[in-house]
Amino acid sequence: MAYDYRYILFYKPYGVLSQFSQDGSGHRTLKDYIQVPKVYPAGRLDWDSEGLLLLTNHGQLQHRLCDPRFGHERTYLVQVERIPEPAAIKRLEQGVFIKDYRTRPAKVRLLTEDPPLSDRNPPVRFRKTVPTAWLEITLREGKNRQVRRMTAAVGFPTLRLVRVAIAQLQIYGLQPGQWRDLTPQELKILHKLAFANRTFGNQKSPQ
């Protein structure tokens, strides 16, 4: 009998650890939201980041999604202090140095209006004298706190960070703290993302 794999899309709220066990920090964990046994996150988000987190009990798929050799696009909405000028956007696109590492080329877009996101709890600090802007940043890598370090390197500190997509899988339709199983169409996308021309779970390779 085929193993009953689960593939879950979770909208991680601010202040939640990307793990089920407590680390002594007092932050909430995935256990406070997801009561599905034996699923684990395929990747992570920092406690102060929000958005899309995939969980599964399929170990090989989890490995593929986390292994940097199998890089795939991750899209973030990033609220920063002040309004980045075109030169700063270009630097982010071409790659910046964070410590001794130069980031790979990225897709970066300055949004003309605020994205349709739920308010954060607690809210982002607001200063009347300092404007803010939203960037859409798409990466194919995931160094520790990379997006925050990238925007800081060009002079625009990150105030809020929300991962809205992994490849074509998107967070829209969920509220912070909500989760759902992937649809059959999303499973096909995940299949191509992690196992091109291979089989996983009860799904066959799409022709």
Return phi, psi of residue 52, to 5°.
Answer: -70, 125
Q: DSSP per residue over 82-144, as a string?
A: S---HHHHHHHHH--EETTEEPPP-EEEE-SS--S-PPPSSPPP--TTS-EEEEEEEES---T
Nearest to 191 by CA among 175, 179, 207: 207
User: Which member of 4, 23, 32, 46 is catalytic?
Assistant: 46
Q: Is 100 a catalytic residue?
A: no
Tally of residues, the chain:
207
The crossing angle, in degrees rounded to 10, of helices 86-94 and 146-153 is 140
- Asked whether the beta carbons of 16 and 47 are under 8 A apart, the reply is yes
Nearest to 31 by CA among 46, 43, 16: 16
Question: Which residues are known catalytic residues?
Answer: 46
